[in-house]
Structure 1
Amino acid sequence: MIIGQDEAVGRFVAAWSSRTPHHAWLLAGPKGVGKARFAEAAALRVLAEAAGPVPEGAGLEVSPEHRIAHLFEAGSHPDYRRLERGMNKAGTGLARNISVAQVRELSHLFAVTPSLSDWRVIVIDSADDLEVSAANALLKMLEEPPVKTLFFLVTHAPGRLLPTIRSRCRRLDFAPLSEGDVARVLETALPKADGQERARLASLSGGSAGRAVAIAEHDLTPLAETARLLMRDGDPTNGKRAALAKSLSLKAAADRYAIFLSMLPGLVAQEARGAEGARRAALLAAYAEARRTAQLAPRLSSDPASTIYVLTGHLAAAARHG
């Protein structure tokens, strides 16, 4: 089930039902709102309908007992490909990009007829990760698409893609989820969490179920509370700021640092909604700085400790107007 994205699901289902859908779909929206899950569900539904028997219902659902669902579960469907970052050459982590070699591998798929039906599906998660030569290789495929082949391009930042790629895709926008929808996703993603914890995570998620899961996995709710206290009580001795900076600057804390930065703008925005006058102005300034830092700091490889220390100074400044 794709929670909270009924409009996107409905638009695709209507297009697929015509049996003349656009060959390439750009799935655009924030991280963690269901774009990749939609792409997989749509791919499974398309290939299950094409191969038969046709699944019940008019949406994207396919019974896990369907023969095509079994192939998907095993990762062995011959007419489906998913492109994502692989391991780096050292085998120590993910590569920085999806390589041109990965894209060119698709030519082998297109060189033969489909195996189980007359349709094929390609999912690229995410198109933002394509290296330049890979993006150009994909563009050639989109310009002259193979017959009865669907491309689903997941993107968190569509403006950074080649304009020529965007122009050859039909765009589906995925909006941030409501807190209620995030909590519903967490019922499955975090079954051991109680309702109160899921609600707390949803309030910190900024509409991203993926971020809520990451916040839970990296135990960031205590740090969120520290950030709230900075905005309300300040930090006369700078002790809270220093401790927060230290906890997020360790070499093993790179993921926690990135997730904390992505969480912070929403946290500041929540505080600003209930503020007035000079305090509200200070919080809005802190929000702008938090948002700018969240966008730039991970890409600039800036020092985490100094980044957090400076950023939380903007939070503590708001307390002076409390």
Structure 2
Amino acid sequence: MSEDVHVLDGAVAPARNPHLFGHQAAEAFLARSYSSGKGHHAILIEGPEGIGKATLAFRFANHVLAHPDPETAPDHLSAPDPDSAVARQIASGASHNVLHLTRPVDEKTGKTKTAITVEEVRRAGHFFAQTSGTGNWRIVIIDPADDLNRNAANAILKILEEPPRRSLFLVLSHAPGKLLPTIRSRCLPLRLSPLSDTDLSQSLSALGLSLEGGRTEETVLAMSKGSVSQALKLLNYGGADIIEAFNEMLAADGPAARKAMHRLADVLSAKDAEVLLSFFLEHLGDHLVEQARRAAIGGSLASADRYARLASEINEKIGISQAYNLDRKQTLLSILQSARG
């Protein structure tokens, strides 16, 4: 499976990305832990989506395979050498010592599945069986573990409970609280923070996206919340326009509000709008959480509870719509009507 199916327009696949900004402390920790010879067999790399977790994981995998003896490994991580055999193999997905588990593509529809399935996790069993006699490090990157369905999560747990010799698991998570507690308990947590404005700007510049000064830069940096993927969705997918349209819909009344809802639903239900829809639903969730917080601070507990229940109801509607392949526009119109209150 091509790794590029998960890569946003304008981004670089983490396995090939030579740039990593803002996580120097995490890089130093991983290097020191490895060179000590006492590193944990499973590391849970936590943090919001799009801040560099996968890029860090692949950089560490390059480091380990380029320096298989911890005692002689340097005490810092470096950008992978593009001319080295290890880096080339990892970048092309041809390394026999690195397995990247992520959501697979459905062969019938050509679309990415909604979860990492147990069949994908079984690849890890074959991976370890085929490389058991090499004596090399075997590295599994689970990206992200939040996408494991229950059967897949239980299958990973069994491997983590009895890890093969010289194996390393890099478990990525945007929301570690949603993982099985037993998986979390078998991993060493490493928390990454959202990127600073400076690091985010440098990350975007490395991708050839230079933010202009003034309101555009200020708006993108504020809306991105330290995430490169959020910035790309704002800049390359029309995310900023969607947020503006949503705010206009909330402010409108009567026929103008209905027209605004239909325009927004039309855009979000388009055939190739999966990324934009996901972006909007995340924004809507954040909006409702913020409304609930403001209501609670203002002493209106009933309103806070209503917003909290509304967020849960919207998630349920989306789940049902996806499970039964319901008309997306009608589902969105129902959700937008609910959001208006």
**TM-score normalized by structure 2?**
0.74
Equivalent residue in structure 2 for 1:256, among 244, 260, 276: 276
2:222 aligned partner? 203
Please report how far the alpha carbon of residue 242 of structure 1 lies from its aligned counterpart in structure 2 after TM superposition.
4.3
Structure 1 residues 173 and 300, CA, compared in 2 at 3 Å: closer, same or farther?
A: farther
2:243 aligned partner? 224
1:35 aligned partner? 53
Task: Please list the CA deviations of residues 172-223 of structure 1 after superposition, one character each: whole Å capped at 9, or x if unmatched.
Answer: 1122223333222211234366456555322221332112112222212223
Q: Is 1:87 equivalent to 2:108 in the alignment? A: no
Please report how far the alpha carbon of residue 123 of structure 1 lies from its aligned counterpart in structure 2 after TM superposition.
0.5
Matches of 1:181 and 1:268, distance apart in 2: 29
CA RMSD of aligned residues (A): 3.9
Matches of 2:149 and 2:24, distance apart in 1: 32
Equivalent residue in structure 1 for 2:96, among 78, 81, 87: 78
Equivalent residue in structure 2 for 1:14, among 21, 28, 32: 32
Aligned length: 311
Letter in 1 for 2:114: R
Structure 1 residues 222 and 132, CA, compared in 2 at 3 Å: closer, same or farther?
A: closer
- CA contact under 8 A between 2:62 and 2:90: conserved in structure 1? yes
Matches of 2:32 and 2:26, distance apart in 1: 10
Please report how far the alpha carbon of residue 23 of structure 1 lies from its aligned counterpart in structure 2 after TM superposition.
0.3
- CA contact under 8 A between 1:224 and 1:267: conserved in structure 2? no
- CA contact under 8 A between 1:87 and 1:95: conserved in structure 2? yes
Matches of 1:262 and 1:10, distance apart in 2: 32
Matches of 1:214 and 1:115, distance apart in 2: 44
Please report how far the alpha carbon of residue 6 of structure 1 lies from its aligned counterpart in structure 2 after TM superposition.
3.2
Matches of 1:285 and 1:235, distance apart in 2: 26
Letter in 2 for 1:203: A
2:180 aligned partner? 162
1:320 aligned partner? none
Task: Please list the CA deviations of residues 63-99 of structure 1 after superposition, one character each: whole Å capped at 9, or x if unmatched.
Answer: 2222311221222211111111222141421123222
Please report how far the alpha carbon of residue 170 of structure 1 lies from its aligned counterpart in structure 2 after TM superposition.
0.8
2:332 aligned partner? 305
SS in 2 for 1:50: coil
Matches of 1:299 and 1:114, distance apart in 2: 41
SS in 2 for 1:58: coil
Equivalent residue in structure 2 for 1:98, among 116, 119, 135: 116
Matches of 2:316 and 2:152, distance apart in 1: 24
Letter in 2 for 1:151: F
Task: Please list the CA deviations of residues 267-290 of structure 1 after superposition, one character each: whole Å capped at 9, or x if unmatched.
Answer: 799999xxxx98xx9x99998689
**TM-score normalized by structure 1?**
0.78
SS in 2 for 1:2: coil
Structure 1 residues 230 and 151, CA, compared in 2 at 3 Å: closer, same or farther?
A: same
- CA contact under 8 A between 1:204 and 1:263: conserved in structure 2? no
Please report how far the alpha carbon of residue 149 of structure 1 lies from its aligned counterpart in structure 2 after TM superposition.
0.8
SS in 2 for 1:92: coil
SS in 2 for 1:147: coil
Q: How does 1:13-162 map to 2 (within 5 A)?
A: 13-50=31-68, 58-113=76-131, 118-162=136-180
2:10 aligned partner? none
Matches of 2:93 and 2:56, distance apart in 1: 17
- CA contact under 8 A between 1:201 and 1:215: conserved in structure 2? yes
Structure 1 residues 258 and 97, CA, compared in 2 at 3 Å: closer, same or farther?
A: closer
SS in 2 for 1:37: helix
Please list every run of 5 or more consecutive structure 2 residues that lacks an aligned counterpart in the other structure: 1-18, 322-328
Matches of 1:171 and 1:130, distance apart in 2: 18
SS in 2 for 1:133: helix
Percentage identity across paired residues of the two chains: 30
Matches of 2:319 and 2:195, distance apart in 1: 26
Structure 1 residues 20 and 207, CA, compared in 2 at 3 Å: closer, same or farther?
A: same
Task: Please list the CA deviations of residues 33-89 of structure 1 after superposition, one character each: whole Å capped at 9, or x if unmatched.
Answer: 21111111111111111179x787722432222231122122221111111122214
Matches of 2:218 and 2:193, distance apart in 1: 19
Equivalent residue in structure 1 for 2:192, among 174, 181, 194: 174
Equivalent residue in structure 1 for 2:233, among 195, 210, 214: 214
Matches of 2:54 and 2:310, distance apart in 1: 27
SS in 1 for 2:40: coil
